[in-house]
Amino acid sequence: MNKLYINKHVKLLNNTVYIDQEKKFSVESDENFSSFAKSVYKNYEIKYSKFYKMDALCKLGFLSADLLLRDLNRENILPEEIAIITANSSSSLHTDKNYQKTLSEIPSPAVFVYTLPNIVSGEISIKNNIKGESLFFIQDKFDTKFISEYVKYLFENTNTKLCITGWIEINMNEDYQTDLYLISKNEGSLEFIETNLNVTYNHE
Amino acid sequence: MMKVFIGQDNIITPLGFSTKENLDNILNGETGIRTCTNTPLSSKPFPASLIDNTEINERFQALGDIQKYTRFEKLSILSIENALKNSTIPLSDPRTLFILSTTKGNIELLDDDLREDFSKERLNLYTTAKIISEFFSLYNTPMIISNACISGIAAIILGQRLISQGLYDNVIVNGTDVLSRFVVSGFQSFLSLSASPCKPFDANRDGLTLGEGSATIILTKDKSSIEIVNGATSNDANHISGPSTTGEGLFIAINNATKNYKNIDLISAHGTATLYNDDMESKAISRAGLESVPTNSLKGYFGHTLGAAGIIESLINLESLKKNILINTIGCTTPGTVENINIIQEKKDQQLNCLLKLASGFGGCNAAALFLKHE
């Protein structure tokens, strides 16, 4: 088995964008998530009108994936050869809470559709034409050992040639964090091993 | 790669608290779907397959304090306990893993009007899974799959992969979902509920029917009569709430799961009875060249049990394999999908060896799993 590498890492935390551990963009710390998300969208000149319809979890995952995948050379990689293996701890509870509030008036289908955690994988897949293996895990904390084993399994046993993996979390108090990694056999400086998935938590 | 087999199992629905009770009732043409009135779930009557709460509590009393566990947790524990009854797998053992499959877990706890006796902490799926895991004194931290309506099949595929890699010897997969005002109102707002019991693959189908269920399947490296050979997941990359118009995503999952295995005897479709889902499945099945394979949907017996559906439907169809009986699609009187496929309309005896199970869900996700009978 050839080694796997982390080709890129995108982290969104504390109103800041980090790419490969380097701080790239930030807004004032007192701005809320929605305002941070809009600033990132504008700063990186993303043009995708569906973005405005998305819930917070999807915006978070969508923006992180967009930064992760821009400039990627997808030559010789089919849509079904790209996998998305992600996890979080709060599932879709941030939106679940918002949906529950609409029950006392008119339940909103536009909100209800976002009350599943894997919708974010769907949004990333639609924007980036990704059709491969896809699974969303709920974990108390990001289980780097398991996730790294599972991603390696996919490279060894399925047609996976590229994988987006990581953590996409926003809880009911709107504490958020993403750590998305782009994994492939293309040699890079960082090998894809458990200890190189350095996730730290903002609500600890 | 280790081969992976199916060990003990259990199904809980309104049609029974064991796989056998459920199967016997289905073979007698019974359905769990009733018109529900005067429930806190909805202000207007609607058809659904609901499990009687009194019966859950009566049965749970033998296991624990009915006040200390939510309805969701009681069902999951009852189902796992039942599956373990005839099993010898070690529980407090690092080689045994528990995977919980659910879409919404204890989501009814968000409803302040209904439940104030449980802490909001129970809304976290990992807390729910931990409570279930602790009940059985399991050694490993449980894994949780929440992947919309493919959760059950995705959890089985994950278990198969982990055992095949030699990471575990036994994996207990439980899929559970209960109905809440949250879930019922959501599907109502989407206008996706049928006014009458659902009619999968019928020309006049007009929507899905919701159901409750909990089912457990134990995957093991120990040889049994049924092997789970392979599985795959995929995404449509098309729409978050509507199925693909081409069926390409599901076709990819079928192809990767079957790896061109030609002798498929039976397809257990997702068959929600929405116009678009059933058409999409017919396209994917035809495109895979499987249009003549006998195909059923069991949603007319159980409703759509969400995170439990894939496990319940796999288990019933594995009984089909063992008994060489094709189970008919109740609710379908005139098959009518955009591509013609072979919907089973009459129960009949037939030699069966290989089952293909399909599922698709919100977020554009698809899954397919292949099971094989060994004589």
Residues of B in contact with A138 (CB under 8 A): 125-126, 129, 144-146
Q: Does residue A203 fall inside a structural domain?
A: no
Residues of A in contact with B236 (CB under 8 A): 122, 125, 131
Q: How far is B233 from chain A (nearest CA, A)?
A: 5
The Cα–Cα gap between B164 and B179 comes to 34
State phi, psi for B48 to the nearest 5 degrees: -160, 165
* From A121, A149, A153, residue closest to B363, measured CB to CB: A121
Residue A203 is predicted with a pLDDT of 43
With contacts defined as CB-CB under 8 Å, which chain A residues touch B141? 140, 143
A-chain residues within 8 Å CB-CB of B125? 91, 138
- Of the candidates B144, B235, B362, the beta carbon closest to that of A125 is on B235
* Distance in angstroms (rounded) separating the CA atoms of residues A38 and B212: 40
Q: Is residue A202 part of a domain?
A: no
pLDDT single digits (tens) B88-136:
999 999 999 999 999 999 999 998 776 568 999 999 999 999 999 999 9
CA distance A7 to A162: 10
Please state whether beta strands B325-326 and B46-49 pair in parallel, antiparallel, or not at all (unpaired): unpaired
Which residues make Cβ contacts (< 8 Å) with residue A104, sequence separation at least 6? none
Per-residue buried b or exposed e for B292-331, using 16+ beta carbons within 10 Å of the residue's own CB = ebbbbbbbbbbbbbbbbbbbbbbbbbbbbbeeebbbbbbb
Six token digits for residue A38: 């809009």
Nearest to A135 among B145, B165, B182 (CB): B145
Number of domains observed in the structure of chain A? 1
User: Are B256 and A108 a contacting pair at CB < 8 A?
Assistant: no
Looking at residues B63-68, what average pLDDT do you find?
A: 95
Give B256's contacts in chain A (Cβ within 8 Å).
80, 158-159
Q: What is the DSSP letter of B139?
A: S
Positive or negative: CA dihedral B314, B319, B321, B324:
negative
Q: In B, which residues are within 8 Å of A90 by CB distance?
A: 124
Return the closest-CA partner of residue B220 out of B286, B141, B159.
Answer: B159
Cα–Cα distance list, B284 to A112, A142, B207, B256, B281 (Å): 27, 35, 20, 13, 5
Partners of B158 on chain A (C-beta within 8 Å) are 135
Question: What is the model's pLDDT at position A201?
Answer: 46
Evaluate whether B348 touches B326 at the Cβ level (below 8 Å).
yes
Distance CA B286, CA A32 (A): 49
Mark which residues 103-122 of A lie under 8 Å from B by CB.
103, 106-109, 112-113, 115-119, 121-122
Can you list the residues of chain A whose pLDDT is less than 50? 201-204
- CA geometry: angle at B4 spanning B305 and B141, to 5°? 65
Interface with B, mutate which of A133, A143, A150, A153 (most B CBs under 10 A): A133
- Tokens at B368, concatenated: 């397919």
Supply the mean pLDDT for chain B: 96
Whether the CB-CB separation of B171 and B163 falls below 8 Å is answered with: yes
Instruction: Say what the ipTM of the complex is.
Output: 0.97
CA distance to partner chain B, nearest, from residue A125 (Å) = 5
Is residue B230 packed enough to be buried (19+ CB in 10 Å), middle (13-18) or exposed (0-12)? buried
Please name the member of A106, A126, A137 whose beta carbon is closest to the beta carbon of B237. Answer: A126
CA distance B331 to chain A (A): 27
Question: Could A113 and B241 be called an inter-chain contact, meaning their C-beta atoms sit closer than 8 Å?
Answer: yes
> What CATH number does the domain containing A155 carry?
3.40.47.10
Q: How far is B127 from chain A (nearest CA, A)?
A: 8
Instruction: Specify the pLDDT at position B115.
Output: 59
Taking CB atoms and an 8 Å limit, are B234 and A134 in contact across chains?
yes
| pLDDT for B124 | 97
How far is B259 from B230, CA to CA, in rounded Å?
A: 9
Minimal C-alpha gap between B366 and chain A (Å): 9
Selected residues 110-149 of chain B with any CB under 8 Å from a CB in chain A = 110-111, 123-126, 129, 141, 143-148
**pTM value > 0.95:** yes
Tens digit of each residue's pLDDT (9 = 90 or more) over B314-330: 999 999 999 999 999 99
Domains of chain B, each with CATH number or no CATH: 4-220 (3.40.47.10), 226-373 (3.40.47.10)
Give which of A84, A91, A159 to mutate to test B binding, by max B Cβ within 10 Å: A91
Q: With a CB-CB cutoff of 8 Å, which residues 249-268 of chain B face chain A?
A: 249, 252, 256
Instruction: Indicate yes or no: CB of B235 within 8 angstroms of CB of A108.
Output: no
**Residue B56: in which H helix or E strand, if any?**
helix B53-60
Q: Which of B98, B164, B235 to mutate to test the interface with A (most CBs of A within 10 A)?
A: B235
Residue A189 DSSP class = S
Percent of chain B with pLDDT over 90: 94
Which candidate, B318, B324, B327, places its Cα nearest to that of B224?
A: B318
Q: Is A132 on the interface with B (CB under 8 A)?
A: yes
* Averaged pLDDT for residues B331-354: 98
Structural domain containing residue A155 = 5-196
Q: Least CB-CB distance to B362: which of A79, A113, A140?
A: A113
Q: Do B126 and A89 touch (CB under 8 A)?
A: yes
Average pLDDT over residues B274-283: 97
Task: Read off the pLDDT band of B207 (50, 70, 90).
Answer: very high
Whether residue A152 lies inside any domain: the answer is yes
Beta-carbon pairs below 8 A across chains A and B: 146
**Chain centroid to CA A26: how far?**
18
pLDDT tens digits for B156-200? 999 999 999 999 999 999 999 999 999 999 999 999 999 999 999
Gap between the Cα atoms of B218 and B230, Å rounded:
16
* Closest-CA residue of chain B to A137: B145
* pLDDT, position B38: 84
